[in-house]
Amino acid sequence: AFSTDGVTMTNIGTVLGTTRSIANDINNSGQIVGIDFGDGSGSFLYVNGVVTRLPTLGGPHTWASGINDQGWIVGVSEDLRQKAQGFIYKNGTMSQLENLSGRLDATSNARAINNNGVVVGTSLGTADSVAVKWSSSGAITPLGTFGGSSSTAEAVNDAGQIVGYADYANPLMGHGAFVWQNGVMTDLGNLGGTGGAGRAGVAVVRRWRWRRCGRGSRPIAGVDVRTVRGERALPRRPGR
């Protein structure tokens, strides 16, 4: 993992004392969150050269994926049953996010958080994982699909616009990139051909940072989202 001001690159792994780490997100104060694979897949917060290890929900592993300007962190942690659960870490407290099914064996994955405290990710529904958002109070809302069985929310901006990808009803069409706003999921289309956006999802640029690399989807006016060609840049985390 590294950080840079555009001139100097800092090796966060040196501070962590490991050679295997990933920085997943950064806020406007320069606070960085990521994963230290050399510490048994543990999450870290990096601020001005100082590393803070994040707690878990009772299990051995945790994966931090997003941070907002308040310093609230979201991601995935294993619970006491070693099931992957979405979490929010704020003011020194780690809390598990609600899942759709309510079952003890259900899983969820928090991927991003905006400055209003809205969290997006996935949660296991009746059969498959679907894109969800958690309000600042913790209430969970499924975002739907394009008729298929699953979907994933990748990022959310401060206007509440959510982007990700969702299955089509026809399995041969694969997945399509979407933007969700005010209860409506809109298909962003593709750059030609008959398939969807591709499993790698979409790249989302908020201010000056990116979230994902993907193929085939196109930008939409008025939404701070753009796509770039390339493969998935981050390893798959549990709770998908």
Distance CA 202, CA 113 (A): 17
Handedness of CA 180, 233, 124, 64 (dihedral sign): negative
Distance CA 197, CA 217 (A): 5
H or E segment to which residue 23 belongs:
strand 21-26
Distance CA 68, CA 226 (A): 20
Q: Partners of 22 in the beta sheet?
A: 35
List, in order, residues 6 or more apart from 142 with CB less than 8 Å away: 100, 123, 125, 130, 131, 132
Distance CA 200, CA 157 (A): 20
28, 50 in Cβ contact below 8 A? no
Distance CA 223, CA 157 (A): 9
Distance CA 203, CA 32 (A): 19
Kindly give the confidence (pLDDT) of every residue in the chain, 240 residues in length, as a single tens digit, with 9 standing for 90 and above: 878 777 777 878 776 777 788 899 999 999 999 998 875 668 999 998 888 989 999 998 899 999 999 999 999 999 988 889 999 999 999 999 998 877 767 889 999 999 999 999 999 866 688 999 999 999 999 999 999 999 999 999 999 999 999 999 988 788 889 999 999 999 987 655 444 333 333 433 332 232 333 333 333 333 333 333 233 333 333 444
Q: Partners of 122 in the beta sheet?
A: 109, 131
For 3, 85, 99, 155, 166, the CA distances from 32, given in Å and listed in that order, are 8, 21, 26, 17, 29
Q: What is the pLDDT of residue 21?
A: 85
Q: What is the pLDDT of residue 192?
A: 52
Q: What is the pTM of this model?
A: 0.77
Query: Rounded to 5 degrees, what angle do the CA atoms 190, 191, 197 make?
Result: 35
